[in-house]
Amino acid sequence: MEICNDPARERGEFRLLRILRPRFDIAAHRFPLRRLNRRAGIAAAALFIAADLIAVELRRRRYAGDFDISMEFGRRFLRGQHLYQGGLHFPYLPTAAMFFAVFSLLPTPLAFLLFYATAILCLGLVLRMLSTIVCGTQPGLRERSGQIAALTLILAAHYIIRDLDDGGPNLILLAIAMGGIYWAWRGREVRAAGLLGAATALKATAALFIPFLIWKRCWRLAIYTTIATLLWLALPIARMGPANWWMHQREWIISAIGFAAGFNQAAAHYYGAGNSGNQALRPAVIYLTSSRAAALLAGLTLTAIFCWITARPYGGRLDTRWVRESSGALILAVLLAPIAWVQHLVVAIPALYLIVADWLAGQDFSLASKAALLLYIIFALILNRGVIGKARFEILLDFHAQTICMLLVLGVLMLERRAVRKSPVQPDAQPLFRCTAGHKAG
């Protein structure tokens, strides 16, 4: 055993230990604290889900909702009955009836619980995909991904809660569309096209992605998505038969597209501009101007501005501009749709996530963007139904406050763009459930 009698050496070793000790202490306490925060977040989420399920079940005992209509839609598909008799779910294609048919096989309470759980899982997948993309391009945000997700959920809470009242169908649709966006970013065009096509077949407003891809010169992905959409649309033929399927497709064209063009007066009476719950752009402009021409001009102007902002093509690979602009396209689709209820506005979740990530990354927001975010918080979080009551909230819906919220989010998202930093890691080494970098050339 060697005994050191060198005072200088002993002083040096003491100084080294004193330098290393704080680092050791920090390393020893950082991970337990992170685990504690994660457990607290999981516990809070579980309590919220339990409370929301109880509230929804109490409401469902008194009133039927969209979930019950969707289950009837699915049952008609299985029984071979006319899907749209009585105007039932006329905006939805037969592919949507095929999707709901899976849940309609179960008793209604069990079907709702399974549908609700699927929506919660899809919401988690959306946040995970966004985290993977954002952390891949901004590694400094890895440690704050939980904080970004929490703030996003708070900002979108009003829309999420409203959608979960009906089981969360729009959260499921958002996860499918977001999956297409994610796999396109990873360079997996066939997977991306399959998911974007499925989203379009389930809800026609997602078809906006096809002209958007053409506008961005993503020719191959646009062709794949078109083919996938046609295949998903034709899938119900296996159950319905060609003649019955075409009869329903033709009726959908007459009723749904006729409603969108303003020719279906029966549907317009209940779902059009006169319904204050409809927060699409067209009803908002008609409410303000009483002019259909002005509504058409507003839609064309918004589309032209979006196209002008997103005019630059991606080149050989899809960078993070793809995620930002696709998130904007989701909001544009719901604004241009003939019907946009409050629950449909969950499509703003990806945009809100990117805005929160920009804020926490220290991006310098302009004064106009800060004012827009403040207005959004006031209208979406403070002046919502749970705070001000149903009567006052419906007055705000008359003034299309949620339409304004979507325009504010879209404006901040598209105008606060920054230069994209290339990621050093290719996505072949990047699993979905790790917050790492990169994507593959398309």
Q: What pLDDT score was predicted for residue 24?
A: 42
Structure tokens at 306: 């979006």
Mean pLDDT score, 16-23: 47
Q: What pLDDT score was predicted for residue 31?
A: 53
In 65-188, where does DSSP find H-type helix? 66-79, 94-104, 108-137, 145-155, 157-164, 169-186
If we measure between CA atoms, which residue out of 296, 337, 276, 264 comes closest to residue 90?
264
What is d(CA 322, CA 324) in angstroms, rounded to the nearest whole number? 6
Mean pLDDT score, 319-332: 93
**What's the whole-number average pLDDT of the chain?**
83
If we measure between CA atoms, which residue out of 96, 90, 78 comes closest to residue 251?
90
Mean pLDDT score, 438-442: 40
What is d(CA 80, CA 101) in angstroms, rounded to the nearest whole number? 11
Q: What pLDDT score was predicted for residue 78?
A: 94
Q: What pLDDT score was predicted for residue 37?
A: 67
Q: What pLDDT score was predicted for residue 427?
A: 46
pTM of the predicted model as reported, rounded to 2 decimal places: 0.85
pLDDT for residue 404 is more than 50 = yes
Percent of the chain with pLDDT over 70: 81
Q: What pLDDT score was predicted for residue 194?
A: 97
If we measure between CA atoms, which residue out of 230, 207, 220, 172 comes closest to residue 318?
220
Q: What pLDDT score was predicted for residue 28?
A: 45
Q: What pLDDT score was predicted for residue 397?
A: 84
Task: Render pLDDT for 204-260 as a digit per residue (tens, 0 to 9).
Answer: 999 999 999 999 999 999 999 999 999 999 999 999 999 999 999 998 888 777 776
Q: What pLDDT score was predicted for residue 264?
A: 59
pLDDT for residue 431 is more than 80 = no
Element (H, E) at 417: none
The residue type of 412 is: V
Task: Render pLDDT for 119-159 as a digit per residue (tens, 0 to 9).
Answer: 999 999 999 999 999 988 888 888 888 899 999 999 999 99
If we measure between CA atoms, which residue out of 183, 202, 201, 185 comes closest to residue 193?
183
Lowest-confidence segment of 75-84, 106-115, 206-215, 414-423 by average pLDDT = 414-423
Mean pLDDT score, 424-436: 43
What is d(CA 244, CA 248) in angstroms, rounded to the nearest whole number? 6
402 or 138: which carries more pLDDT confidence? 402
pLDDT for residue 23 is more than 60 = no
Q: What pLDDT score was predicted for residue 176?
A: 97
